[in-house]
Amino acid sequence: MYKYGDRTDLAKKSLDGTKEALDGLRAYLGRALAEAVTPTVQRILAEQGDPDAELRGENFQNDVSTFVTKDLDEMITYKTLLQERKHWSMWAQRLSWGVYVLMAVEFVFLAWFGLANKVFNSPVSLRVAEFSLIISGLVAVFCILSFGVMLRCHDKISAYRDKIL
């Protein structure tokens, strides 16, 4: 039962796959950029001219522009994967804190109700009961929304990762 509810392995596999995809994209983009600028750089090195002026020159800028135009989709995919992984992590952290807050709120209200009923021998007022339900409900809704956003980020990551790998 514990293993079914534990999604640690799923998250680890997903994030490892994302890292693998990002590493592959970064390597591809590095090679593609090197290929795009190599002729101009070799010419600059052979001429022994002013490398700073040549690197700011039109030929080098055209090489980089060609690279960007040719590999724009890969660069966008790389940026999107980075952003979605960051968002996934942020919402996973919010979900974790939401669950902790929900457990703490439930513990406080349970202790409060127990003390009021057993120690002070007085029933819990309807207002306090309603307040506890509202607070618990709000925290639970926050957890559910966090989980939904986290899953949406995971879906985006999976779609882009599957496109790459």
Q: Does residue 4 fall inside a structural domain?
A: no
Q: Does residue 1 fall inside a structural domain?
A: no
Q: Does residue 117 fall inside a structural domain?
A: yes
| pLDDT, tens digit, 9 for 90 and up, residues 76-91 | 989 999 999 899 889 9
Q: Does residue 3 fall inside a structural domain?
A: no
Tokens found for residue 105: 């709120």
Q: Does residue 46 fall inside a structural domain?
A: yes
Instruction: Report the percent of the chain where pLDDT is more than 90.
Output: 27
Number of domains in the chain: 1
* Domain carrying residue 102: 9-164
Q: What pLDDT shows up at residue 115?
A: 75
Q: Does residue 2 fall inside a structural domain?
A: no
Mean pLDDT score, 118-134: 81
Evaluate if residue 97 carries a pLDDT over 50: yes
Question: Cβ of 161: how many Cβ atoms within 10 Å?
Answer: 23
Rounded to two decimals, the pTM is 0.71
Task: List the one residue out of 149, 101, 110, 104 whose CA is nearest residue 129.
Answer: 110
Q: What pLDDT shows up at residue 128?
A: 79
Single-letter code of the amino acid located at 57: G
Evaluate if residue 75 carries a pLDDT over 60: yes
Evaluate if residue 134 carries a pLDDT over 90: yes
| pLDDT, tens digit, 9 for 90 and up, residues 21-49 | 888 889 999 999 999 888 888 887 787 76
Q: Does residue 24 fall inside a structural domain?
A: yes
Evaluate if residue 50 carries a pLDDT over 80: no
Residues 6+ apart with CB under 8 A from 74: 25, 28, 29, 32
Q: Does residue 107 fall inside a structural domain?
A: yes
